A and B are shown apart, each in its own frame.
Chain A
Amino acid sequence: MMSPEKQETAAAVRVLGRWPSPFVIRVLIALRLKGVEYEFVEEAMGNRSELLLASNPVHRKIPVLLHRGRAVSESLIIVQYVDEVWASQAPAILPSDPHARAAERFWGQYVDDKFPTAIRVLRGKVAGDKDEAAAQVAAALVHLEEALVQCGRGKGYFGGDSLGYLDIALGSHLGWVRAVERMARVCLLDAAKLPNLAAWADRFCAHPAVADVMPETDRFVEFSVNNDGVPPKAAHTNSK
């Protein structure tokens, strides 16, 4: 039961989104990491609300963060915004060292170049060669395995001791990665080939800031299967 002050504060931060979107999940993880109260405003599938259209007129996509009467869009941009506004609250999401920051931002962009479209192909939501898509994801994960060793320096996360920007950027895709492994019957995150990443994936999903906002793989599969009635390339409100 929230105190009146916390209720007011919660309303001061709102997230427009839908649960299976990895981009929305990123924002929720960031807010939870910082211990920021927020209100989640669920967008209906395939039906953009007036609030969404007014808040993100350029892309009309989720997630959107509403804070102090202003809207911030694009998931990784929102994550950085959260990190900067609540900089006084630990943990830091981006590292303090500029080179490490540049490395995490580089990899964050890499993840968004390689994963979203390939996953949509593997889900059958978008036309494409599934074998090629699977190969692209697998190849990207090989690079990320190396990056984990370099960035994390033997500690549990890309961010080192604590979950950070790149953990969020990549980890948010794990729900769908595991779902498509099951649906397309393909092994993407091979524990034998990618031992660090495989261990990291379990650690990430069990993290308190993640566990409540990233459901079990079953739910992702169920969501995808239930959407089979929707034709491919239907209007996606998933942003990047």
Chain B
Amino acid sequence: MAEEGVKVVGMWASPFVARVEMALRLKGVTYEYLREDLANKSEMLLRYNPVTKKVPVLVHGGKPMAESAVIVEYIDEVWKDGYPIMPADPYERAQARFWARYADEKCNPAIYVVYTSAIGEGQAKLVHEAQECLKTLQKALEGKKFFGGDAVGYLDIVVGWYARWVPIIEELSATSIVTLGGFSTSVTDQELPMIKAWFDRILAIDVVRETLPPRDKLLPLCKPDSDWVNLGGFWSLVAVGWIVSVMACVGSSNAVWVTAMMTWAGVHGVVLDGGWGGRSRVSSLSLTTGEGGTPLDVRAATLVVGAVAHRRRPRLECCPVVAVARAA
């Protein structure tokens, strides 16, 4: 029986594993999910995929196979009477494979690089490049509800994970790749309405929603390291006697902690309400001291935002951002 012994070796946050699960669920195939710890790869995984040692691995009737896009085609071929994943026409199949490859080779790295980018001038260029990749990919979508036509198909399965990951990346890097507004500081003024509409449609599909990692679990995983480690830098600045102003979200636990320590240390400071996920930039705010004293000119301040508050890059929401200025 075709359904005997179907196993997926995977990891919950892998978009490539999600592809395989999506395909199996579209076909109505029941499978056993074997959770893998990628930091500590099991002997089983290394036995099933000794060459690339990656997830996903599909095991069917004891035979393993790897590479998510290859596995999806396998699933379509074995359960050929079920939901059609690949187009029937050879030219359309070639097009689907072409765009899947384009997405993996060009779009993925372009999007990833935005995720790791620092806020600044260079970032706008990276966002623009990611947008250009997605605009090109969009050609495969034009005039259709899904890449597969009226229903989800191979290419939707291959790139469906963008609908979950791209908005998270936009939030974490404070950029707009597909959607203007929201958490972004509007790095470019372009948005991609066709892709955005497709994001909404694809996330409305049960099978897609069930297999993509939930946003509330994925977001914290994608966040860079916490700020706690770097507050040591903050204290060394305090020791030098600089006035420290701290911009933070009112109510954020980091802000409360920092304010308390400042009071204890007898350091003059300012807590600014940056707003929860707001668009504010430090330079656009006027600051006042806690006692209603003279506003500090932030433009004269030396911003130590990146180095002190955040190891990788500054984030303007939900963390203390430290602006350091000499006392007037």
Mark A residues whose CB is within 8 Å of B.
58, 68, 70, 72-74, 77-78, 80-81, 84-85, 98-99, 101-103, 105-106, 109-110, 143
Contacts and interface: CB of A to CB of B under 8 A. Distances in A.
B73 A143 contact: no
Contact of B70 (A58, A68, A109): A109
A84 B90 contact: yes
Interface in B68-125: 70-71, 73-74, 77-78, 90-91, 93-94, 97-98, 101-102
Contacts of A109: 67, 70
Contact of A106 (B65, B91, B93, B98): B65
A68 B92 CA distance: 13
B114 to A, nearest CB: 21
A69 to B, nearest CB: 10
A103 B94 contact: no
Interface of B: 51-52, 60, 63, 65-67, 70-71, 73-74, 77-78, 90-91, 93-94, 97-98, 101-102, 136
Given A77-B94, A81-B90, A85-B90, A102 B71 contact: yes
A105 B66 CA distance: 10
Nearest to A105: B70
Contacts of B102: 58
A102 B65 contact: yes
Given A58-B136, A72-B91, A106-B70, A99 B63 contact: yes
A103 B67 CA distance: 10
A73 B77 CA distance: 23
A87 to B, nearest CB: 8
Contacts of B77: 98, 101
A171 B98 CA distance: 22
Contacts of A72: 91, 94, 98
The 6 closest A-B pairs by CB, nearest first: A84-B90, A98-B77, A102-B74, A102-B65, A105-B70, A81-B94
B65 A99 contact: yes
Nearest to B97: A77
Nearest to B137: A58
A70 B66 contact: no
Contact of B67 (A78, A98, A101, A105): A105
Contacts of B98: 72-74, 77
